[in-house]
Amino acid sequence: MTLFTTDALEGRCLPLFINNEFVPSQGQSFPSYDPATGAEWSSMPDATADEVDRAVRAARGAMTSAAWRDMSQTDRGSLMYRLADLISQNVDRLSRLEVRDNGKLLKEMTALTHAVAASMRYFAGMADKIEGTTIPVNKPDMLNFTLREPVGVIAAIVPWNSPLLLLNRAFSPAIAAGNAMVVKPSEHSAASILAFAELVAEAGFPPGVFNVVTGGGQTVGDALVRHPEVDKIDFTGGPETGRVIAASAAQNLTPAILELGGKSPNIICADADLDRAVTGVVSGIFAAGGQTCVAGSRCLVHDSIYDEVAERLVARAAEIRIGAPTEADTQLGPLALWSQVEKVGRFVEGAKTAGAKLLAGGGRAEQMGAGWYVQPTIFGDVTNEMDIARNEIFGPVLGLIRYSDDEDMIAKANDTRYGLASGLWTNDMERAMRFMRRINAGMVWINTYRSPSVMAPSGGYKDSGYGKHNGFAAINEFTRIKTVVIDYSGKTHDPFVMRVQS
């Protein structure tokens, strides 16, 4: 019987996972809460520095073991297909663990867990298609080619909002390319990642290929990031943490992928199909309670349609069904953390003081008792200077910002320290093309929103981070290029002159 179900874990403490074994930690444990009720449900340990070291050494051991290093690429892919099948067979159990930890809707987490299996299959198929190139250098009698090699031990640091999906953005390409991994899940949502670890062992991956250490960011996360045997860091989280991690990583010159937050514009032009556009804005900010890095939290609206859009959005917000995340017809569940509820409250008060007009919501959803629910909230008359427009809230709070013409629109859209995603609703394809070129963001959605694909690179500009997940770009992140030069001329050359020319 597995320990990793919501019932079995009730009141229990999570273990660590090192070398394909679940081991109890010697570290202090701390509670994990169910956001739907506000009650404690399980706990997890703060792994000790020694345990972090053991996990990293286990991953290093896998990288040097014949079982993993010499496994054929095709066999690596086969293990990933097997793991993807196990995930598909366990979608409901894995999704319920995520919902218990982070309070997001079961239907959303179920869709994301299916997507984890699907994207694992996408990368499994790539495992034996990773190629170097032959370079026709300007030197006769020389062969010059590149090898693409695994980077080594990858440290993945994951936030709470979509634990398996965000872990797998690193896991699948990294493992397809032959790396080994240590993951530190969020201190708020580790259960599904340990359940995933159990399936990794069941699929038949050699010991040490995948390891899990739980605990806090400043303790376990910091020890992992600073470990000298870590070859690359894959971090998803907030920009402030991203800066700390980049600084820690610099001590060992460890490269990093940083997937950080956003304050993405979702823009409605005067010529847009308003039904689709308003639905797109609702989906951009109120789906997942706004707890998504690509939340379209700034809605830029053309002056001529501003009043109509505001009216429609307020009407839509009033219809959103707030309820338990496991109920099939719930549209807005609780926020994952009590500190997030308080943060939303601070932004709401700040926006009122700054002169924004509260059009909908603005408080807790009291009917949900002790659960961590807040109402879908809309502010009108927001300007780009206000805190509510400048900082990521990570909650269901939308700010409406007016614009006058396309120049004003692009200037306001780009006036942010972030650059993760952007959306534009228009039927004018020339306008869409101009926007696509000039927006300073890593992802552009036109007449759609929140539509990522495992096959297309994703990642941010500016304070939204650097590096790419998904698509072949992710394989590039988890491989390094070695250049090999072979001289078959049989000649001896002047030893004091570099052979820059033929």
Residue 259 annotated as catalytic? yes
Residue 244 contacts ligand NAD per CB under 6 A: yes
Using CB under 6 A, which of the segments 75-83, 179-187, 325-333, 360-368 binds ligand NAD? Answer: 179-187
CA-derived radius of gyration, the chain: 24
Using CB under 6 A, which of the segments 134-142, 221-229, 429-437, 445-453 binds ligand NAD? Answer: 221-229
DSSP 95-137: HHHHHHHH---HHHHHHHHHHHHHHHHHHHTTTT-----B---
The residues, any chain, with a CB within 8 Å of residue 92's CB and separated by 6 or more, are 110
Contact pick of 259, 381, 463, 477 for ligand NAD (by CB under 6 A): 259
Tokens 């079961």: give the residue.
106
Using CB atoms, what's the residue nearest to ligand NAD? 217
The CA distance from 30 to 414, in Å, is: 41
Residue 222 contacts ligand NAD per CB under 6 A: yes
The CA distance from 237 to 225, in Å, is: 14
- Token output for 311: 């009216």
Contact pick of 17, 205, 394, 425 for ligand NAD (by CB under 6 A): 394
- Count of residues that interact with ligand NAD, criterion CB under 6 A: 30
Residue 221 contacts ligand NAD per CB under 6 A: yes
User: CB-wise, 117 or 337, nearer to ligand NAD?
Assistant: 337
- Token output for 63: 């990288």
**259, 311, 349, 385: which one is catalytic?**
259
Count of alpha carbons within 13 Å of 380, Cβ hemisphere only? Answer: 14
Minimum Å gap between C-beta 460 and ligand NAD is 6
User: CB-wise, 34 or 234, nearer to ligand NAD?
Assistant: 234
Residue 341 contacts ligand NAD per CB under 6 A: no
Residue 236 contacts ligand NAD per CB under 6 A: yes
Residue 187 contacts ligand NAD per CB under 6 A: yes
Q: How many CB atoms lie within 10 A of CB 391?
A: 18
Minimum Å gap between C-beta 299 and ligand NAD is 18
- List, edge to edge, every strand of the sheet that includes 443-446: 357-360, 377-380, 397-403, 298-302, 265-268, 421-425, 443-446
Contact pick of 94, 164, 166, 281 for ligand NAD (by CB under 6 A): 166
User: CB-wise, 34 or 259, nearer to ligand NAD?
Assistant: 259
Contact pick of 26, 64, 138, 218 for ligand NAD (by CB under 6 A): 218
Q: Do residues 303 and 402 touch, judged by C-beta distance below 8 A?
A: yes
User: CB-wise, 403 or 445, nearer to ligand NAD?
Assistant: 445
3-state SS of 310-370 is HHHHHHHHHHCCECCCCCCCCCECCCCCHHHHHHHHHHHHHHHHHCCEEEECCCECHHHCC
Interface ranges with ligand NAD (CB under 6 A):
157-161, 166, 184, 186-187, 216-218, 221-222, 225, 236-238, 241, 244-245, 259-262, 293, 392, 394, 420, 460
Which residues are tagged catalytic? 259
